[in-house]
Amino acid sequence: MPNKQNTNSNLQGLTRLITDATIGITNLVEAMHKRVVHPPFLPSTPIQELITNISGITYKSIRWSTKFIGSNAEKALGQLPSVLGEIETSSEKEAVNSALNGVVGDYLEENDNPLQINMQFRQQATTISLDSEGIAAAYPTINGKILLMVHGLCMNDIQWTRKEHNHGTALAKELDKTPVFLHYNTGRHISNNGQNFNELLEKLISNWPVQVEELIIVAHSMGGLVTRSALHLGQQQQNKWTTLLQKIVFLGTPHHGAPLERAGNYLDVILEAVPYAKPFARLGKIRSAGITDLRYGNLVDEDWNTADRFEMRADARQIIPLPEQVACFSVAATIGKATDSVSSRLLGDNLVGVKSAMGQHENSAYCLNFKAENTWIVYESNHWDLLSDLKVYGRVKGWLA
C-alpha cells in the first residue's frame, strides 16, 4: 500500500527546495543588476544609486512573496487528502532523489528537508531494522558471512542492478554470503558519512542473529572513500567490525580525487576574477560537500574543516594508508583500448583517472601501494560499466573466492 505521508513529505520537500532556488536566483539576478548599473572600477552617480534602491525594493518583494507562497504551499501539501491517488514508490523516483541528494544533499540535511536520504542498510530496497529480529526478518536464510555493497555518488542501493546484473546478489549466491546494501546521502561530507557508516556497521555486527565469521565490502566510486573513512575511524575507536573485515574491493574509486571536480574549482576562481562574471561564480558553489570532497579524495574532517571548501588550494589531506590486516583490491576502468598508447589508456573512465583508481600518486607518501596482483584495469569501459561488466564480476569473484 502506498505511503501517502511519505509522498506528501516529499512534495513538501520539493516545494521548499523550489522556494529556496527561486530566492537564490533572485539574489543572483539582483547581484548581476548591480554589476551592470555600477560598472567595476567606476564611481557611482546619484541616479545610479536611485535605480539600485528602487530595484532593491522589487527584489525584496520577490523574496518576501516567494517565502510567503512557499510556506503556505508547504502547509497545504502537508494536508493533501487521498485524492492524490496511489503513487507507488519506483526505482526511477529513488534514482532522481539519489541524484538530487548527490548534488545538494548537504543543503537538504542542513535545512532538514524531507527529501534528504538518511543512511540505512537495505535489502531488496527495504530498510533493515538493526535489531536481531529485524535482521532475521530481512533474511529468512542467513549466515555469518556478510557481503556489504556500498554505492557511489548520486546513486542508491537499487542501482547496483544494471543490465539485469547485480554484483552483490550474484556474488552472494555463488559464494554463499549474505548481501547487505548501504543507502546514503552522497552530498554530505565523506567524513560525515564515514562516521555514520562506522556506527551503523558496529550496530549491524552486534545484532547479527548468528556469529559473524567474515565481513567483505565491495564499493563503487565514492563508496570506496566512505568505506576507507569509516574504517579509519572504526580502527581509532577499536570497533569490533574492523576486526572482522577481511577484504575490500574498490571499483573505480577516486582515491586521489577526480579531475572534473578540480575543473569545477578552477571555474570558481576564473568567474570570481572576471568583474562582470563574478555574480555567476555562486552557481559553481551549488555543488555539494560530497562533490567538493572528490577534488582530492578527502577522508577525514581535518581534510576540509579548516578552509573554505570552494577555495583554490593544494592537496593537504591527512595521509591515510590502506589497512595492513585487510586484503584490498582495486579495479580501474578506461575508455581506451589495450592497444592504445599509454597516455590514452590512462585517461580513465570519463570520471576517474586510472592512477587515482589505482591509488598511485606523484607524492610517494600518498601512494596506497596495492599489491600488483590485487589490481586490474578493464579497457573500453566507462565508470558505470564497472557495475555490469561480466569480466569485472569474474575478476572480483576470483578475488573473493
How far is 12 from 277, CA to CA, in rounded Å? Answer: 34
Q: Is the pLDDT of residue 64 over 70?
A: no
* 367 domain-assigned: yes
pLDDT tens digits for 122-140?
A: 999 999 999 999 999 999 9
Whether residues 157 and 250 share a domain: the answer is yes
Q: What is the pTM of this model?
A: 0.80
Whether residues 73 and 217 share a domain: the answer is no
Task: Give the three-class secondary structure for 150.
Answer: strand
Question: How are the residues of the chain apportioned to helix, strand and coil, as percentages rounded to the nearest 5?
Answer: 55, 10, 35
Q: Which band of pLDDT confidence, cut at 50, 70 and 90, is reported for residue 30?
A: low
Whether residues 132 and 81 share a domain: the answer is no
Torsion of CA 113, 115, 118, 119, to 10 degrees: -140
Instruction: Return the number of other C-beta atoms located less than 10 Å from residue 36's C-beta.
Output: 9
What DSSP designation does 45 have? P
**101: closest CA among 163, 32, 188, 38?**
188
Q: Is the pLDDT of residue 31 over 60?
A: no
- The enclosing H or E element of 219 equals strand 214-220
How far is 67 from 23, CA to CA, in rounded Å? Answer: 8
Q: Is the pLDDT of residue 278 over 90?
A: no
Cell triple for 242 = 574492523
Q: Is the pLDDT of residue 318 over 70?
A: yes
How far is 251 from 16, CA to CA, in rounded Å? Answer: 36
Task: Give the three-class secondary structure for 121.
Answer: strand
**10: closest CA among 115, 119, 116?**
115
* 240 domain-assigned: yes
* 309 domain-assigned: no
What average pLDDT does the segment 76-91 reach?
A: 45
What average pLDDT does the segment 68-78 reach?
A: 43
* 295 domain-assigned: no
Whether residues 163 and 45 share a domain: the answer is no
- The enclosing H or E element of 165 equals strand 165-166
Q: Which band of pLDDT confidence, cut at 50, 70 and 90, is reported for residue 96?
A: confident
Q: Among the ranges 2-6, 94-98, 354-358, which has the highest mean pLDDT value?
A: 354-358
Q: Kindly write down the DSSP assignment for every residue of 294-346, as one continuous string.
A: GGTT--SGGGTTTS-TTS---------PPPTTSEEEEEEEESS-TTS-HHHHT
* 10 domain-assigned: yes
Task: Give the three-class secondary structure for 42.
Answer: coil
The proportion of the chain whose per-residue pLDDT surpasses 70, expressed as a percent, equals 71
Model pLDDT, residue 76: 42
Q: Is the pLDDT of residue 118 over 60?
A: yes
What average pLDDT does the segment 23-36 reach?
A: 51
Burial of 14 (0-12, 13-18, 19+ CB in 10 A): middle
Parallel/antiparallel/unpaired status of strands 126-127 and 120-123: antiparallel
Choose one of 46, 71, 89: the last residue of a domain. 89
Torsion of CA 64, 308, 109, 71, to 10 degrees: 0
Whether residues 85 and 142 share a domain: the answer is no
Instruction: Return the number of other C-beta atoms located less than 10 Å from residue 220's C-beta.
Output: 25
**77: closest CA among 17, 22, 1, 24?**
17
For the ranges 143-157, 255-269, 368-382, which has the lowest average pLDDT? 255-269
Q: Is the pLDDT of residue 101 over 60?
A: yes
Whether residues 69 and 137 share a domain: the answer is no
Whether residues 129 and 216 share a domain: the answer is yes
Q: Which band of pLDDT confidence, cut at 50, 70 and 90, is reported for residue 46?
A: low
What average pLDDT does the segment 105-118 reach?
A: 88
* 196 domain-assigned: yes
Domain that holds residue 18: 4-89
Q: Which band of pLDDT confidence, cut at 50, 70 and 90, is reported for residue 231?
A: very high
23 phi and psi, to 5 degrees? Answer: -65, -40
Q: Is the pLDDT of residue 261 over 50?
A: yes
What average pLDDT does the segment 158-187 reach?
A: 97
* 238 domain-assigned: yes
What average pLDDT does the segment 45-57 reach?
A: 51
CB 317 within 8 A of CB 330: no
List residues bridging with 59 in a β-sheet.
none
How far is 169 from 320, CA to CA, in rounded Å? Answer: 31
Whether residues 59 and 127 share a domain: the answer is no
Q: Is the pLDDT of residue 272 over 70?
A: no
Whether residues 138 and 217 share a domain: the answer is yes
What DSSP designation does 358 have? T
Whether residues 219 and 170 share a domain: the answer is yes
pLDDT tens digits for 187-213?
A: 999 999 999 999 999 999 999 999 999
CATH of residue 326's domain is 3.40.50.1820
Whether residues 83 and 140 share a domain: the answer is no
Q: Is the pLDDT of residue 65 over 70?
A: no
* 299 domain-assigned: no
Which of 157 and 96 is assigned the larger pLDDT?
157
Model pLDDT, residue 339: 78
What average pLDDT does the segment 227-235 reach?
A: 98
Whether residues 83 and 153 share a domain: the answer is no
Residue 288 CA, distance from chain mean position: 9
Q: Is the pLDDT of residue 366 over 80?
A: yes
Mean of pLDDT over the chain: 81
Model pLDDT, residue 260: 78
Crossing angle between the packed helical segments 167-175 and 390-400, to the nearest 10 degrees:
40
SS (H, E, C) 346-387: CCCCCCCCHHHHCCCCCCHHHCCCCCHHHEEEEECCCCCHHH
Model pLDDT, residue 97: 80
Q: Is the pLDDT of residue 179 over 60?
A: yes
Cell triple for 313 = 588550494
| Total domains, the chain | 2
Choose one of 68, 89, 110: the last residue of a domain. 89
